[in-house]
Amino acid sequence: MAARPSRPRLLLRHATLVAVSFVMLLPFYWVMKTAVTNENIYAYPPGIVPRDPHLFNFVDVWYLIPFPRYLLNSIVVSAIAVAGNVVLNAMAGYALTRQFPGRRAVLALFLSCMLIPFQATIIPAYLITAKMGLLNTYFGLAFPMLSTIICIFVFKAAFEAVPRSLIDAARLDGLSEWRIILRVLLPLSKPAIATNVILSFIWSWNNFLWPLLITRDPTMQTLPLGLARFLSYMEDTTGALYAFAVLVLAPSVLVFLMAQKEFIRGLTSGATKG
């Protein structure tokens, strides 16, 4: 930004950023170190590097708690949420690119809904879900997350970026509305689809409060609930809890590293539009 910075200032910048990065990465290191530690993790002083590291804590997590069950539940709920988000958001996003009476009202409604945090709705949301008989079901777990306002706007922006002339040409060729969406708009909006998949996956994968409210049945619990349960029920001195945390974090870190660009685009486009 400034004119070419002098060498000491450049070094100072790097030093500051390295220090920040150190603070940001330290917890990752500490939890991974604990996850592979072999001895009593409460022994003082804790070693900075693990002595005789091993991976058997991960095996313990798999068998000592119903980890495969939690994993299955999390995957099913996330899959429903991702599918719902892509389909419903694309539909709503497309509708918002068209002119229709009441469009301004719908836009205003969406934007004001963005200001209502989900946490502020938990009591009636719980009662509504209970009335619909969806407690302890996969669909009930995914239902409130099936459509996301930010992602609707991501789709809307992507569809609006498609050149008008292309759509008009397709319409002149006699393609129906459906065909235009499936053959013209969606193939040109792949980044928006990717953004939708990633955001909705990460949000539903990490969601804790909603499953906490509506699942009473241990066989329907998802990974974050399993993690919280493990924390409150087990007093153990092995690194199993931290191995569990590493296992749970791995998918979202992997998806994030794979799709950082799409992820950031989703967050910031929602941000600049809001």
Instruction: Determine whether 58 is exposed, middle or buried from the number of CB atoms within 10 Å of its CB (0-12, 13-18, 19+).
Output: middle
Q: Which is nearer to another protein, 127 or 169 (CB)?
A: 127
User: Locate tokens 């292309």: which residue?
Assistant: 166
Question: Alpha-carbon distance 227 to 177, whole Å?
Answer: 47
Closest contact distance (angstroms) between CB of 151 and another protein is 10
Site for another protein in 140-159 (CB under 8 A): 143-144, 146-147, 149, 152
In the three-class reduction of DSSP (H, G, I as helix; E, B as strand; rest coil), residue 231 is classed as: helix
Supply the minimum distance, in Å, between the C-beta of residue 40 and another protein.
Answer: 9
Could you tell me how many residues of this chain bind another protein (CB under 8 A)?
105
- Rounded to the nearest whole angstrom, what is the least distance from the CB of residue 183 to another protein in the complex? 13
Assess 79 for contact with another protein (CB under 8 A): no
108 to 127, contacts with another protein by CB under 8 A? 108-111, 113, 115-127
**Of positions 11, 161, 166, 264, contacts another protein by CB under 8 A:** 264
The minimum distance between CB 15 and another protein, in angstroms, equals: 10
- Cβ at position 227, least distance to another protein in Å: 5
Q: Give backbone dihedrals phi and psi of 133, rounded to 5 degrees, phi first.
A: 70, 30
Q: Is residue 60 a contact point for another protein (CB under 8 A)? A: yes
Query: C-alpha distances in angstroms, 49 versus 19, 173, 238, 246?
Result: 20, 67, 16, 17
3-state per-residue secondary structure call for 10-73: HHHHHHHHHHHHHHHHHHHHHHHHHHCCCCCCCCCCCCCCCCCCCCHHHHHHHHHCCHHHHHHH
Q: Is 82 in a helix, a strand, or coil?
A: helix
Rounded least distance, CB 165 to another protein, Å: 19
Q: Which of residues 223-252 bind another protein (CB under 8 A)?
A: 223-224, 227-228, 231, 234, 236, 241-242, 245, 248-249, 252
108 or 161: whose CB is closer to another protein? 108
Assess 20 for contact with another protein (CB under 8 A): yes
Burial degree of 199 (CB within 10 A; 0-12, 13-18, 19+): buried
163 binds another protein (CB under 8 A): no
Q: State the Cα–Cα distance between residues 41 and 239, nearest whole angstrom.
A: 7
List 8, 51, 100, 133, residue binding another protein (CB under 8 A): 100
